Copies of this chain bind each other. A is one copy, B any other.
Amino acid sequence: MDVREVLYTTRAMRRVRPDPIPLDVQARILDAAIRAPSGGNAQPWRFVLVDSPDLKGELGPLYRESIASLWSTFYRERLDRARADPEVPSNRSLLKVQRSAQWLADHFEEVPLYLFCFVRTAAGGAGSIYPAAWSAQLAARAEGVGSALTSVLGALHPAEVRSLLGVPDDSWDNSCTVSFGYPTGRWAVADRLAVDKVAARNAWDGELGFSASEPLWPKE
């Protein structure tokens, strides 16, 4: 599949069917993920696939609790505002994400596959794990597999995740977790603020130098 189609149409796909992901597809997803760069090429990562019903049954309640906590704390004010004025595009978008994430919480155990992404805490981080996680999502898209990234499990329940997955010690951080499955919805170009709303040149509000108010793919 062409890389531009993949970059434009890989968006969070949380609603998926319970059908398993074949092992050869999983292998291609992981093999693409580990080509990503990391700080000093140290590859300070470890990836744990989870498809065991027992394990999903233990993790599901933790995810539901994490999500409920997000809604009632971090997102509370924004959700209240969004519900009060749901026709504003950014509000509609937030409510859509909220419903989608709640779907994942309610159906956590039915999602066929999760990828828990760990990075060595001392290796200093995000730049050494998120590119690999995002590559996994892009490689999955090319296989027709939907995915979504969450960081709440590792952030809100680090000790439980460590214990359930047998992580040897706290030198490893569960930076993020990706859910995978064949989507129930359709692929489409992700709806985003245009480049000229979020980019500039040589200064915070500097002229970009090109016009960028519409997606360049697939219309171009």
Evaluate whether A210 and B23 lie within 8 angstroms (CB atoms) in the complex, with A139-B3, A201-B48, A202-B50 already known.
yes
Contact of A212 among B27, B97, B139 (CB under 8 A): B27
Q: Which residues of B contact A142 (CB under 8 A)?
A: 3-4
Interface residues of A in 92-149 (CB under 8 A from B): 93-94, 96-98, 124-127, 130-131, 133-135, 137-139, 141-142, 148-149
Q: Looking across the interface, which residue of chain B has its beta carbon closest to that of A132?
A: B134
CA distance A212 to B139 in the complex (A): 16
CA distance A134 to B175 in the complex (A): 17
Copies of this chain present: 2
CB–CB B49/A201 < 8 A: yes
Interface residues of A in 1-19 (CB under 8 A from B): 1-12
Flag whether A43 is at the interface (Cβ < 8 A).
yes
Flag whether A153 is at the interface (Cβ < 8 A).
no
Flag whether A171 is at the interface (Cβ < 8 A).
no
Flag whether A65 is at the interface (Cβ < 8 A).
no
CB–CB A94/B41 < 8 A: yes
Distance from A2 Cβ to chain B, minimum over Cβ atoms (Å)? 7
Contact of A217 among B12, B31, B55 (CB under 8 A): B31
Q: Looking across the interface, which residue of chain B has its beta carbon closest to that of A193?
A: B43
Which residue numbers of A lie inside 8 Å of B, CB to CB? 1-12, 23-24, 26-28, 30-32, 34-37, 39-43, 45-52, 55, 74-75, 78, 93-94, 96-98, 124-127, 130-131, 133-135, 137-139, 141-142, 148-149, 151, 165-168, 175-176, 189-190, 192-195, 198-206, 208-212, 215-217
Not counting A35-B190, A47-B199, A130-B131, a sample of 8 additional A-B residue pairs whose C-beta atoms are within 8 angstroms of each other reads A7-B138, A12-B41, A23-B210, A27-B210, A49-B200, A126-B175, A131-B131, A168-B204
